[in-house]
Amino acid sequence: MNKYILKFIVIFLGLLITIAFIALIYGTYLRLNTKNSFEIEEISLYERGWIQNKNDLIEEIIPINKEYLLIIINKFENPEKHFLIYDFRNDKILKYIGN
């Protein structure tokens, strides 16, 4: 091969590596500086009427899948546990297990 062709290939590949490195740094900068697109919403189970006593304690919240949550509630008056299956995409209680 010709000496000039080899020099051209080496310089061209060096430029491509430099451009790719700059693009990588710029992409990382854009990724780190974007804000999250979701907002945290506070949900009061008492105000929505899903629990009867304000002193009832939410013991645990377990995600079932991407749409549903299992909420375990300890009743204040007696040591019974009640369960809610909550669909947070549609903002509905699908099932209430308890008294």
Indicate if 30 and 62 belong to the same structural domain.
no
Structure tokens at 56: 């009832």
Q: Has residue 75 been placed in a domain? A: yes
* CA atoms of 32 and 66, how far apart (whole Å): 25
Residues 61 and 93 in one domain: yes
Q: Using one digit for the tens of pLDDT, what is the confidence trace for 36-85?
A: 666 667 777 777 777 777 777 888 889 999 889 898 888 777 777 888 88
Asked whether the whole model's pTM tops 0.75, one would answer: no
63: domain range? 57-97
- Domains: count for the chain: 2
Distance CA 95, CA 47 (A): 18
| Residue range 60-69, pLDDT digits in tens | 889 999 889 8
Main-chain dihedrals φ then ψ at residue 13, nearest 5 degrees = -65, -35
CB 21 within 8 A of CB 42: no
